[in-house]
Amino acid sequence: MSLTIENILLVGSILLFISIIVGKTSYKFGVPTLLLFLAIGMLAGSEGIGGIRFDNPKNAQLIGVISLNFILFSGGLDTHWSSIKPILKEGILLSTLGVLLTALTLGGFVFYVTDFTIYESMLLGSIVSSTDAAAVFSILRSKSLALKKNIRPTLELESGSNDPMAYALTIAFLTLVINQDQSLVSIVPMFLKQMVVGAAAGFGFGFASKHIINRINLGFEGLYPVLVISLMFITFSATDFVGGNGFLAIYICAVYLGNQDIIQKKTILKMYDGLAWLMQIVLFLTLGLLVFPSQIVPYIGVGMLISLFLIIVARPVAVFISLVFFKMKLRRRFYISWVGLRGAVPIVFATYPLLAGIEKADMIFSIVFFISVTSVLIQGTSLGVVAKWLRVGIPEQAKKITPIDELLLDLPKSALQEFTISPEFSPINKRIVDLHFPAEAFIVMIKRGNQYIRPGGSTVIKANDVLMVLADNPADYEKVEECLFHPKYAKTS
């Protein structure tokens, strides 16, 4: 069956519906939902029961890049600065040096066990060198794994920020495979430009996006998430246009925005959480459709050998060397090594050699696909067991709730207080978003005369307004009072 304009919506919606229903029950059997999404795509493909023929790497790459934009941006928005600050150095080293060491170690092994050239081997190593944000975010959060110390934020920061490094290495070694006459030194300027421009653009667009969101009065709550989507794509495409790393830029931009006071932040976070799941499903379904199982079978042997080397040797070597200067118990290093999940990102990166038309592109794609599947199947299904075995898990009831969790889950507070904004001493005519209101408290309603107003970030505080505030304890209300009645807001006569 070929996809046409007439049936693409029907087929797509049916596949999406099946994926959601199957994914809902998958964890009862210990199978990661992302693997099931991939399997459904393969079953619907030309060699499966669905008979849908999809053999277009270009379209698959386009869908992959768009999906990764949403997945990385959502992960960045959910990254709370207070959580990653203690492990920022570890996370950055894992996402840069760790990725490089993984690529080089695995590339050397591939060169030894296959007939690949050294650059082709390094290209394969680079493609699978990063942990997959979609797989890590999905599996850790779906399983609700509660981990000791800062293991979880370390893993999420690494997986959310290491794709740009893997992408830069993939493009660099692909360039060397295509242009055999170039030297390794010749790609260094391109690599540095990708990373430096990408990082600078991420901070620049993040700062600009905050002011655009807070200064444009759209009037409708639902338009703010749409505005953020447009800013996300502008950040990615503009950075890529000037030679920077677009994936790095959107992640940094999202982390910056997620830790700022922006209008309709709760609405934006909830929308991106849903869109990230949608894009994960679409991405895995698309890649499943792209795969021809008959082409993978001949490479199962070498694929399993490379996959096991990646899991048992390359990943642990990269982690232990990257974290050698940090105080961390051995079992925590082993657990971080084990959560080296590969998912859809390597498969998306594997479409670049296909489109470039290099000689061993099909073999690289098949091996990468096999590595991703075995990684999610072996490591993804055993995260909880390994956490218990290494004693790095904590009881679920002891799991901490972050400010992002509170914002998304609408967690109830234990007490309600009213604050009257008097004309003599108040932040009159200021928007709520400009007050830097404490994250531990919520303004649930504003009484203005005989009216009750549902507050938003753009709501302007007026004289004699009564703010109804929910918080947990007296210390939180002290922060509220300091925010509302700080001397800098005092009116002078």
- Report the pLDDT value the prediction gives residue 261, as an integer from 0 to 100: 82
| Number of structural domains found in the chain | 2
- Report the pLDDT value the prediction gives residue 397, as an integer from 0 to 100: 45
pLDDT tens digits for range 215-261: 888 877 788 899 999 999 999 999 999 989 898 999 999 999 988 88
**42/128 same-domain check:** yes
Reported as a pLDDT band with limits 50, 70 and 90, residue 490 is very low
φ, ψ (nearest 5 deg) of residue 376: -65, -40
Give the end of a domain, one of 340, 366, 398. 398
Q: How far apart are CA 99 and CA 19, in angstroms?
A: 31
Q: How far apart are CA 392 and CA 232, in angstroms?
A: 36
**171/298 same-domain check:** yes
Report the CATH number at residue 434: 3.30.70.1450
* For the ranges 15-24, 286-295, 305-314, 478-487, the one whose mean pLDDT is highest: 305-314
Residue 1 domain flag: no
Q: How far apart are CA 219 and CA 409, in angstroms?
A: 25
Residue 3 domain flag: no
Instruction: Quote the distance between the C-alpha of residue 430 and its chain's center.
Output: 34
CA angle 392, 395, 401 (to 5 degrees): 100
DSSP 443: E
For residue 387, give the nearest of 343, 334, 340 by alpha carbon. 334
Q: How far apart are CA 364 and CA 205, in angstroms?
A: 35
Give the end of a domain, one of 370, 398, 426. 398
**166/271 same-domain check:** yes
Give the end of a domain, one of 363, 398, 433. 398
Token duo for residue 58: 């270009």
3-state secondary structure of 350: coil
Residue 106 domain flag: yes
**147/190 same-domain check:** yes
**113/191 same-domain check:** yes
Residue 405 domain flag: no
- Percent pLDDT > 70 in the chain is 85
Dihedral class, residue 381 (left if φ above 0, else alpha if ψ from -120 to 50, else beta):
alpha
Residue 406 domain flag: no
**384/420 same-domain check:** no
**340/451 same-domain check:** no
Residue 73 domain flag: yes
Residue 407 domain flag: no
Report the CATH number at residue 154: 1.20.1530.20
Residue 2 domain flag: no
**436/326 same-domain check:** no
Half-sphere exposure of 297 (CA within 13 A, CB side): 5
**286/420 same-domain check:** no
**26/130 same-domain check:** yes
Mean pLDDT to the nearest integer, 77-92:
85
Q: How far apart are CA 465 and CA 137, in angstroms?
A: 41
**66/205 same-domain check:** yes
Reported as a pLDDT band with limits 50, 70 and 90, residue 202 is very high
The pTM of this model reads 0.77
pLDDT tens digits for range 131-180: 876 667 666 665 555 676 778 788 878 887 888 899 989 999 999 999 88
- Report the pLDDT value the prediction gives residue 125, as an integer from 0 to 100: 95
pLDDT tens digits for range 91-100: 899 999 999 9
**339/464 same-domain check:** no
Residue 45 belongs to domain spanning: 8-398
